[in-house]
Structure 1
């Protein structure tokens, strides 16, 4: 374990999810729906039936019972509830990851989608953030259920683990330097090409808004870029990497406690990139991350400053706490300077998105209905809920202040996520562009999602890519 404040990556070897290898010795984990309980009990030996009925087992969703036998626990039964209960809770059976040590195999009448959800939930529930304290890991493993694509499930879980590690690490150990190190390490692991532009070189290479947001920090702002794959359709992912956000001179009066997660967009596109590269998808992948800290110093960006962006658009700064759209603006301008088939940005951008949809549902924007349909299908397949919000063009005038081309924080009081998305669309200027305004944090422990950093939308995108890119 690295010492606190070491400035190193969280782990020399990233934690990786696994399935059980020795299926021959796996004990059964019976999954029993409420409407199938009577038939299940009738098929059991008297001792098992009496044990389950005597303990009050009613097949409620997630209710786990261990079955004793000679030499210890010989099996387990977990309730699968009814359809209404299952619709209310994703990954409800992930609590079974607390089973006794050893290999377990699923038994029960399950659809393929149900087996996929249980297997993915099991993997995600194994995640532990153990950089600063010892956390007991589960010693129970699951045999890959029948019909499941193990490579795909493991890639999704591994990408999610990376995202969670990055978001969970506090800013003292996950500033622009460490985010760069993690980014380069990811590129190296998969044989990708990485490029870094930082400090005053940002001005020399025309990234003025990234430089302006991050210049007040002693940890230099930077642009990170990764290229992977030499053939196939092209996908560019752009992530907001604000490693900590004080709000700048418009200092946050509330909500600063969670601002280590303001690089959640960067963490999520990096996790998605890992999934893509681990699976070897036949595409050309480009990842762009703007990594900065938004802090206070004498040279900090000031309210009413006017910046000239990489794209040439001028931006009046009406709130230094609306910095994410500034760094993304330069990054998106770079992304569209070369041809790309699909462009996606991800950012923890607005509180308005949280107010509208809460912490669990990831809002996204696109003008391309086919991309939206592909994403919605992918979200259902990968148990990764999303919700489409509109690029409402009649609101364009709200982000035009008169003194400059654009206003970074119009203070209108309405549709804050929509106006932020419209701001970004000016820089993306691409017909097949999709933007996610994510939260990146689970506020309380939930099945397969412990309190803390979490990826949103990445699995949905991964599942939707074949349709988006014509694979």
Structure 2
């Protein structure tokens, strides 16, 4: 992982290139105040003060040059407004003439993310270091960047190198870093205690055997928060096998688990006063002689019987058993992340996680927090009127609705049956992937809905229960 602490440092008047920020409104007044030489240089570089544009302004000496950069709104910097600079400027140290980068420090860091596990880029530029006077924000910003990078790394690693056992190893590293209690359930205990997790993963064989990974941390006197992440390390669709085009990206079907681990890192790193319980049902949905079949009836940990309408709707099965266990500790808040439905992507596209919740105030907090940290989601309804789509003639519930309508909603309604009645609940159906690059956000695995939830938790718990 990139060492982000080396890219954001306290400004102690070290030598650095100056970056001056302008926007469309201030560009002309800035330009008119410049000498003719600078105006000619700016014109030659076709810089007009627009967002993500910049120009290099030479000084009197070869190393004495500065930067003028365009942003959308210089009075309210976004997380990504300086990210293009961090991607394209030469190696070196920089400081803002305006002094404060605020949220843009995150984009400066995430823009320098590299996934180089399988290919070394000998032509990659060296580090671009941002000097800042906002010293109190450095550690928190670095932790955010590290959490984003963790999601990206775990999702980008192919399924052959990121099966349930490897996901367990990554979770163990997170637990060890913060002294959290770590347990894993697999084999016969998994089959007996979490039958749907076992059923989904049993065809993958011993090397990729299913398991339930748990992490517990925090003072038992603090409020209980459960985080559940779907950990389907590869999804063939099972016997209802996917076409090759749909299977190509299924290494990312453990993106929910990646988000859960990254959120746990943020919570523990900030020492939020909560009693944290992380649950990751990890499995590979494979094809084999002992694969679960369409029409099978599975008995869940909760005791509800589930008819399998489609083996490719497996994520909700493993989440259901994990949510049931989470509810047995009576948490006040349950959050789950899952790359659950293609229907959510059709509804809101790749950038917006589909948000479902049983609490309107919680939805408003998510919306406000997401807007504040440039990590939006979009609420879809938990419309009970569609529950009939999950009816079964021979079991308590079917795992897949008929007709193809409201797929993201019916999936959320399925999960709702396993969420504890008294708990507030957030379900994020996230893509965990960026199909095309944007400044600070390369193509590939991506954290979507991570920072918004962490901001919500900070606002709810940061100043409560501290000793």
TM-score computed with the length of structure 1 as normaliser: 0.91
Q: Give the Å deviation of 1:468.
A: 4.0
Instruction: Determine the C-alpha separation between the residues in 2 that align with 1:400 and 1:445.
Output: 41
SS of residue matched to 1:237: strand
Instruction: Determine the C-alpha separation between the residues in 2 that align with 1:171 and 1:54.
Output: 48
Q: Give the Å deviation of 1:42.
A: 3.4
Equivalent pair of 1:61/1:80 in contact (CA under 8 Å): yes
Equivalent pair of 1:119/1:145 in contact (CA under 8 Å): no
Q: Is 1:339 equivalent to 2:351 in the alignment?
A: no
Equivalent pair of 2:390/2:402 in contact (CA under 8 Å): no
Q: Give the Å deviation of 1:151.
A: 2.3
Q: Is 1:438 equivalent to 2:430 in the alignment?
A: yes
Match of 2:165 in 1: 177
Equivalent pair of 1:126/1:138 in contact (CA under 8 Å): no
Match of 2:55 in 1: 65
Match of 1:100 in 2: 90
1:235 and 1:21, CA in 2 relative to 1: closer, same or farther beyond 3 A? same
Equivalent residue for 1:226, pick from 215, 229, 233: 215
SS of residue matched to 1:427: coil
User: Superposed, which structure 2 residues align to 1:29-428 within 5 Å?
Assistant: 29-69=19-59, 70-81=61-72, 91-97=80-86, 98-108=88-98, 115-135=101-121, 136=124, 138-144=126-132, 146=134, 149-204=137-192, 206-218=193-205, 219-230=208-219, 231-253=221-243, 254-428=245-419
Q: Deviations over 1:26-46 (max 9, x none)?
A: 221111111111222234344
Q: Give the Å deviation of 1:143.
A: 1.7
Q: Give the Å deviation of 1:145.
A: 5.6
Match of 1:457 in 2: 449
SS of residue matched to 2:26: helix
Count of equivalent residues: 450
Instruction: Determine the C-alpha separation between the residues in 1 that align with 2:284 and 2:64.
Output: 52
1:373 and 1:449, CA in 2 relative to 1: closer, same or farther beyond 3 A? same
Q: Deviations over 1:165-187 (max 9, x none)?
A: 00000001000010000000110
Equivalent pair of 1:370/1:468 in contact (CA under 8 Å): no
169-178 or 457-466, larger mean C-alpha shift: 457-466
Equivalent pair of 2:79/2:373 in contact (CA under 8 Å): no
1:81 and 1:337, CA in 2 relative to 1: closer, same or farther beyond 3 A? closer
SS of residue matched to 1:35: coil
1:379 and 1:269, CA in 2 relative to 1: closer, same or farther beyond 3 A? same
Equivalent pair of 2:80/2:104 in contact (CA under 8 Å): yes
Equivalent pair of 2:10/2:133 in contact (CA under 8 Å): no
329-338 or 407-416, larger mean C-alpha shift: 407-416
Q: Deviations over 1:266-298 (max 9, x none)?
A: 001111111111112121111100000001110
Q: Deviations over 1:298-338 (max 9, x none)?
A: 00011100000000000000111000000000000000001
Instruction: Determine the C-alpha separation between the residues in 1 that align with 2:131 and 2:267.
Output: 24
Instruction: Determine the C-alpha separation between the residues in 2 that align with 1:274 and 1:82.
Output: 32
Which consecutive residues of structure 1, in runs of 5 or more, have no partner in the other structure? 1-13
Equivalent pair of 2:204/2:288 in contact (CA under 8 Å): yes
Instruction: Determine the C-alpha separation between the residues in 2 that align with 1:55 and 1:169.
Output: 39
Q: Deviations over 1:54-111 (max 9, x none)?
A: 433211211111122202352111112469xx99x97243110121111111224x9x
Instruction: Determine the C-alpha separation between the residues in 2 that align with 1:391 and 1:428.
Output: 13
Instruction: Determine the C-alpha separation between the residues in 2 that align with 1:74 and 1:293.
Output: 54
Match of 2:16 in 1: 26
TM-score computed with the length of structure 2 as normaliser: 0.92
Equivalent pair of 1:16/1:161 in contact (CA under 8 Å): no
Which consecutive residues of structure 2, in runs of 5 or more, have no partner in the other structure? none
SS of residue matched to 2:249: helix
